[in-house]
């Protein structure tokens, strides 16, 4: 089949045919432990009975209805998600890039409304260096990494400024009345699993608010339980106006959400921004099942416990090739002296799926239902590979 599916990914030559929880099986019957979950998507694991039932029941009711009409599943998920986050509104879409694109449009309109008496100049969006916000043209430009702005795709939309996370001087210098929003990830996923210092994040969000700008937190990767809380920014007390989510939100069904409140609540009016599939009942049924599972007592405790077990275990090896284990919950980066891509390949050969991030990190984003036994079994493979590469 090579060449028929556009060669945009450079995928490994492994074809999975099914799985259960945090385990996968390929077409030759070989078993794998999954520390990737489709890049932070299959948060309830593979073939989760609760999710499968919710989706099959919904398929029999309606798969799609379109936004000329309302759907009870859509309304129910919107209500549950805003209640869980303390927000007022949600715009549903189909991916992380789309959720951020919606947040960018919302921020621009907010800035325009706020400054239209003075010529509508409040339009700049401030983001972080090493960030990642998606692959549409605007979200590429929001991404603070030069390598994501190659000439071949130019021209790009303008109006983005980047500051270094941790740089207090930059906060002082950057936030003024030209800024409509500050947008950041609490942990930069694709950038290398970089934790943004909590004190600095609070100071930056406060400065943005004080300058009259919205606080937008991209929780496409950190959200939906990944870091051991429903949303990292809420656990950190950043008081965002806008949270974007996707990846794990519907357990594997494509879905994104731009969740907002505060000063952002009434910015969008009918016609401002839309999507044919947005809020599709099938995706919403997945979202409801995922959220209900996560809000059960003990779910986030499990994520934190297994995350700590992984971190403690790797640190206990005291391997010279491991320079740092970092992250939160089950979003972990393991900085290694070898090429992360080489380790990823060798792990796969040995029955363990891992990801990479930035230039030096092997990244773990397992299903949040990963058991302690599975974590230790995966780590045994990881250790063997680290010692052989």
Ligand X SMILES: *Cc1c(COP(=O)(O)O)cnc(C)c1O
Q: Which residues bind ligand X (CB under 6 A)?
A: 95-97, 100, 132-134, 185, 189-190, 218, 220-221, 246-247
Least Cα distance to 107 among 13, 290, 243, 302 occurs for 243
CA pair distance 84, 300, nearest whole angstrom: 14
Please say which residue, 130 or 221, places its beta carbon nearer to ligand X: 221
Please say which residue, 97 or 207, places its beta carbon nearer to ligand X: 97
Least Cα distance to 268 among 84, 158, 100, 113 occurs for 113
Residue 82 near residue 89, CB atoms below 8 Å: yes
CB of 283 to ligand X, least distance (A): 13
Please say which residue, 136 or 371, places its beta carbon nearer to ligand X: 136
Please say which residue, 259 or 379, places its beta carbon nearer to ligand X: 259
CB of 135 to ligand X, least distance (A): 6
For 158, residues 6+ apart whose C-beta sits below 8 A from its C-beta are 141
- DSSP conformation class of 157: P
CA-only gyration radius of the chain, Å: 21
CB of 251 to ligand X, least distance (A): 14
CB of 329 to ligand X, least distance (A): 15
CB of 350 to ligand X, least distance (A): 26
Least Cα distance to 310 among 285, 286, 327 occurs for 327
Please say which residue, 101 or 293, places its beta carbon nearer to ligand X: 101
Q: What angle do CA 330, 44, 42 make, to 5 degrees?
A: 75
CA pair distance 303, 114, nearest whole angstrom: 41
CA pair distance 25, 352, nearest whole angstrom: 11
Please say which residue, 37 or 95, places its beta carbon nearer to ligand X: 95
CA pair distance 230, 85, nearest whole angstrom: 8
Residue nearest to ligand X (CB): 96
CB of 366 to ligand X, least distance (A): 16
Please say which residue, 284 or 381, places its beta carbon nearer to ligand X: 284
Please say which residue, 218 or 335, places its beta carbon nearer to ligand X: 218
For 73, residues 6+ apart whose C-beta sits below 8 A from its C-beta are 58, 61, 281, 284, 285, 288
Please say which residue, 249 or 386, places its beta carbon nearer to ligand X: 249
Q: What angle do CA 201, 145, 167 make, to 5 degrees?
A: 30
Give the C-alpha distances (Å, rounded to integers) separating 303 from 30, 118, 294, 310: 27, 49, 10, 11
CB of 134 to ligand X, least distance (A): 4
3-state SS, residue 358: coil
CB of 330 to ligand X, least distance (A): 14
Q: What angle do CA 304, 310, 313 make, to 5 degrees?
A: 135
CB of 389 to ligand X, least distance (A): 26
């Amino acid at each position: 089949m090579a060449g028929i599916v556009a060669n945009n990914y450079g995928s490994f030559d492994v074809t999975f045919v099914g799985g259960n929880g945090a385990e996968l099986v390929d077409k030759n019957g070989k078993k794998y432990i999954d520390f990737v979950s489709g890049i932070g998507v299959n948060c309830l694991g593979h073939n989760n009975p609760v999710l499968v039932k919710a989706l099959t029941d919904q398929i029999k009711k309606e798969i799609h209805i379109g936004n000329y009409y309302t759907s009870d599943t859509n309304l129910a998920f919107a209500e549950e998600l805003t209640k869980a986050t303390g927000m007022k509104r949600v715009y549903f879409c189909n991916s992380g890039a789309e959720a951020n694109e919606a947040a960018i449009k919302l921020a621009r309109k907010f800035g325009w409304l706020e400054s239209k008496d003075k010529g509508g100049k409040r339009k700049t969006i401030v983001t972080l260096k090493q960030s990642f916000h998606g692959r549409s043209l605007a979200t590429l430009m929001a991404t603070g990494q030069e390598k994501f702005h190659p000439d071949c795709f130019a021209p790009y939309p303008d109006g983005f400024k980047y500051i270094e996370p941790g740089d207090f001087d930059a906060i002082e210098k950057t936030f003024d009345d030209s800024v409509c929003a500050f947008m950041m990830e609490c942990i930069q996923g694709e950038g290398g699993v970089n934790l943004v210092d909590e004190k600095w994040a609070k100071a930056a969000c406060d400065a943005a608010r004080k300058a009259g700008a919205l606080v937008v937190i991209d929780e496409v990767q950190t959200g939906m339980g990944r870091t051991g809380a429903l949303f990292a920014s809420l656990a950190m007390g950043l008081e965002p106006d806008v949270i974007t989510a996707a990846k794990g939100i519907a357990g594997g069904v494509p879905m994104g959400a731009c969740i907002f409140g505060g000063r952002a609540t009434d910015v969008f009016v009918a016609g401002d921004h839309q999507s044919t599939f947005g809020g599709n009942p099938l995706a919403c049924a997945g979202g409801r099942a995922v959220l209900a599972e996560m809000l059960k007592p003990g779910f986030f405790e499990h994520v934190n416990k297994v995350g700590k077990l992984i971190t403690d275990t790797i640190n206990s090896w005291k391997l010279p090739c491991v320079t740092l284990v970092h992250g939160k919950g089950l979003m972990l980066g393991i900085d290694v002296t070898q090429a992360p891509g080489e380790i990823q390949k060798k792990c796969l050969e040995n029955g363990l799926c891992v990801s990479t991030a930035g230039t030096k990190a092997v990244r773990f984003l397992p299903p949040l239902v990963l058991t302690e036994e599975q974590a230790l079994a995966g780590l045994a493979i990881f250790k063997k590979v680290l010692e052989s590469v």
